[in-house]
């Protein structure tokens, strides 16, 4: 009863409203808290909003007050939200299915039924036209859950059992389960708090998985579970004690080896063992700072993508017999390049498919045993190719996808010997004609003279006279590159005359490894200024009106939005920040928070003064000031394990206290979701329609 009264009182205080008054913005209570560090202490008035149990009634009341306020402010936009959602859904083929792929005698496929939020995963024995066997009826599995995610799944070598990872909270603490595909029954074996990463050994009764630390949620142990035995008796095969490394497991492309991968931002180490005896792990190359590699096995040799003597990465190879000699025995398979960045690769029998970047675009080339290279060409100025599912190495055909901001994702196969190319599927986009739209690649000059690539799309007929509204998106962290693609939710914006810009700012790897190095650690501010300079370039070149610019980013891209809002609020009419990482210093000082220790080489360790001072100088929460800000829509999920809900909650509370404008500030907390929002394919578009309507209102677009 006391908790109920406290919650009600906190809600009344937060809203500052009665039933007779118009809604007013919520105000969180100020409770000064000293955040201590070796390099300085800071007072944080809203630290109390952090509750790791997510049960504090006062905190929950504040989040509810913010949700209620957002509802009140967005109520008038409900018709536009519904219209945007309906338009988006009209561009989705609801009964769609994936291109089947073959593995170990079965054809696997994912299909959606009309109206379903989740797909059915099925397989066919021997022939893609054989009767289908349903492996996972996800619509049925999701019933009764407000959140549902089926992640990694893998079939046993004898095709009888399937192991899979399931999350019903959104916290990314997965439960591993085993299903008998011959009977459809679940086995009693259940493993909790695991990574969504599970493999079978060749004996068909041992599964390998990665266990998580219950506090930090860091995957740190590779365990072996024998079916029918207690989980408490699972054998540990490897433990990673350095908390700056994260972990994963995989089988090699030839299925001969099981490998444990540990990696930090600047270092890798890989241990592999025969799939017949996975307990005998052998290190391929010992970890060394600034040495990165990932190796695969085919045709009696190891092939590694590595930065050894190649900043933009190269492929190197070593015979099985020479593996113990270490990296001195590794030999170049491709030359190092200043302009070509190798993103990944896939070995086949007799050749290698290479996923690479050049000039800001992602492309594919094939390398045969004689060293002859076959590039796969494209006809658009801004595009992306990517290797698709290729589970059978004994083939001349390589499957890949192609797309752009205009061209829907198209699945191709290309023959490594003849260069013949055939279309397997063009992703259906009902009611959409690519001929009605234009894509461009432009280069914006940043303030330090660097040319930043920008991918643009707009509807034909959109005037380039400086009057159009602009929607600009970017990420710019972790070396993650943003590639162009058709989005059903974007078509409605383009049809209303909005120009869409994807800014490939530093911090990604669109232009190679140096592009990343120039956008993290003590160079992080380049990401922010690049984004601002792209905006100013597009306005100057009359792609957009100065007073009709919207910006959006999520997660680390939400940090970008927070920094941009502080640094150049006058350049943006409205900003959308989803699950934003905005309390950089406090989070990076706390090693108990998931992801913190992994990311010292991304952001810096604030225990060191140079990083503390630099991070503090751009941390969005710390840099909020008494000035005008653009209209803001901020979103988060209560169960987010990547960026904790209290970061954006604190940021919004401080903005409400400090900002001097009357522009709307809306904060939406999804109480039943994590980092990726609510689950289900349509739910994402419902959420997008909410902030989309808000953006269009602010840009004066009907």
The residues annotated as belonging to the active site are 555, 640, 675
Q: What is the DSSP letter of 119?
A: -
Place of tokens 């560090």: 37
User: Which H or E element spans position 410?
Assistant: strand 410-415
What CA–CA distance (Å, rounded) separates 356 from 345?
A: 8
Which DSSP symbol is given to 508?
B
Cβ–Cβ < 8 Å for 438, 452: no
424: exposed, middle or buried (Cβ count in 10 Å: 0-12, 13-18, 19+):
middle
Mention every residue, 6+ apart, whose C-beta is less than 8 A from residue 195: 165, 174, 209, 210, 211, 212, 219, 247, 248
* Torsional sign, CA 366, 369, 373, 374: negative
Q: How far apart are CA 173 and CA 396, in angstroms?
A: 40
Give the closest residue to 386 by CA, choosing from 423, 412, 417, 405. Answer: 412
β-pairing, 235-239 with 246-251?
Answer: unpaired
Do residues 354 and 315 make contact, with C-beta atoms less than 8 angstroms apart? yes
For 415-471, the DSSP string reads ETTT--EEEEEE---TT--GGGEEEEEEEEEPTTSPEEEEEEEEETT---SS-S-EE
In angstroms, the CA 644 to CA 590 distance is: 12
Q: How far, in Å, CA of 160 to CA of 155, rounded?
A: 7
Contact 587, 579 (CB under 8 A): no
Answer whether 567's CB lies under 8 Å from 532's CB: yes
Q: Identify the sign of the CA torsion 338, 340, 342, 343.
A: positive
Half-sphere exposure of 350 (CA within 13 A, CB side): 10
Q: How far apart are CA 258 and CA 321, in angstroms?
A: 18
Structural contact between residues 162 and 154, judged by C-beta atoms closer than 8 angstroms: yes
Q: DSSP secondary-structure letter at 526?
A: H
Q: How far is CA 357 from CA 187, 411, 649, in A?
A: 45, 19, 38
Are the C-beta atoms of residues 389 and 399 closer than 8 Å to each other? yes
DSSP SS3 for 358? strand
Positive/negative CA dihedral, 452, 453, 457, 458? positive
Contact 437, 455 (CB under 8 A): no
């Amino acid at each position: 009863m006391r908790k109920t009264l406290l919650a009600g009182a906190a809600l009344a205080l937060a809203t500052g409203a009665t039933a007779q008054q118009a809604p007013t913005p919520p105000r969180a209570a100020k409770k000064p808290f000293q955040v201590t560090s070796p390099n300085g202490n800071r007072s944080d008035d809203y630290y109390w909003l952090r509750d790791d149990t997510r049960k504090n009634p006062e905190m929950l009341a504040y989040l509810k007050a913010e949700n209620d306020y957002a509802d009140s402010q967005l109520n008038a936009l409900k018709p536009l939200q519904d219209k945007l959602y309906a338009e988006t859904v009209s561009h989705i083929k609801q009964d769609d299915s994936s291109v089947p792929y073959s593995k170990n005698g079965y054809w696997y496929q994912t299909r959606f039924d009309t109206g379903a939020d989740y797909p059915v995963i099925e397989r066919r024995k021997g022939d893609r036209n054989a009767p289908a066997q349903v492996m996972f009826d996800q619509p049925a599995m999701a019933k009764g859950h407000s959140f549902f995610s089926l992640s990694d799944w893998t079939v046993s070598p004898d095709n009888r059992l399937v192991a899979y990872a399931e999350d019903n909270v959104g916290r990314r603490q997965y439960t591993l389960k085993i299903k008998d595909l011959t009977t459809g029954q679940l086995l009693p074996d259940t493993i909790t708090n695991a990574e969504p990463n599970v493999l079978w050994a060749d004996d068909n009764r041992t599964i390998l998985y990665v266990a998580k630390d219950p506090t930090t949620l860091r995957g740190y142990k590779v365990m072996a579970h024998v079916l029918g035995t207690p989980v408490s008796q699972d054998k540990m095969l490897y433990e990673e004690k350095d908390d700056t490394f994260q972990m994963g497991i995989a089988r090699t492309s030839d299925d001969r080896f099981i490998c444990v991968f540990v990696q930090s931002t600047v270092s890798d180490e890989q241990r592999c063992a025969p799939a017949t005896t996975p307990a005998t792990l052998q290190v391929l190359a010992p970890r060394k700072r600034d040495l990165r590699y990932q190796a695969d096995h085919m045709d009696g040799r190891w092939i590694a993508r590595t930065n050894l003597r190649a900043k933009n990465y190269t492929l190197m190879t070593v015979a099985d017999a020479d593996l113990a000699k270490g990296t001195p025995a590794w030999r170049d398979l491709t030359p190092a390049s200043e302009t070509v960045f190798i993103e990944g690769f896939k070995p086949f029998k007799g050749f290698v498919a290479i996923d690479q970047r050049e000039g800001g675009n992602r492309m594919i080339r094939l390398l045969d045993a004689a060293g002859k290279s076959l590039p796969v060409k494209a006809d658009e100025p801004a595009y992306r190719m990517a290797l698709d599912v290729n589970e059978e190495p004994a083939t001349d055909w390589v499957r890949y996808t192609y797309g752009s901001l205009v061209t829907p994702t198209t699945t191709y196969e290309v023959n490594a010997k003849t260069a013949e190319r055939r279309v397997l599927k063009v992703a259906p986009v009902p009611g959409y004609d690519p001929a009605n739209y234009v894509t461009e690649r432009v280069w914006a000059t940043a303030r330090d003279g660097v040319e930043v690539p920008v991918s643009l799309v707009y509807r034909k007929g959109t005037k380039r006279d400086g009057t159009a509204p602009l929607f600009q998106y970017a990420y710019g962290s972790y070396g993650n590159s943003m590639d162009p693609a058709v989005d059903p939710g974007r078509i409605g914006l383009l049809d209303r005359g909005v120009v869409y810009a994807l800014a490939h700012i530093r911090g990604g790897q669109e232009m190679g490894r140096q592009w990343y190095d120039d956008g993290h650690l003590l160079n992080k501010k380049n990401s922010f200024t690049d984004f601002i300079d792209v905006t100013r370039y597009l306005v100057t070149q009359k792609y957009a009106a100065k007073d009709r610019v919207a910006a959006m980013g999520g997660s680390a891209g939400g940090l970008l939005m927070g920094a941009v809002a502080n640094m150049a609020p006058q350049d943006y009419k409205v900003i959308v920040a989803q699950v934003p990482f905005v309390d950089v210093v406090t989070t990076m000082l706390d090693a108990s928070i998931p992801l913190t220790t992994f990311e010292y080489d991304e952001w810096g360790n604030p225990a060191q003064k140079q990083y503390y001072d630099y991070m503090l100088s751009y941390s969005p929460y710390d840099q909020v000031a008494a000035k005008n800000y653009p209209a803001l829509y901020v979103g988060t999920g209560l169960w987010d394990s990547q960026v904790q809900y209290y970061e954006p909650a604190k940021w919004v509370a401080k903005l409400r206290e400090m900002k001097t404008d009357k522009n709307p500030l809306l904060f939406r907390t999804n109480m039943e979701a994590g980092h990726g929002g609510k689950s289900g394919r349509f739910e994402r578009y419902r959420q997008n329609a909410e902030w989309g309507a808000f953006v269009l209102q602010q840009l004066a677009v009907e």
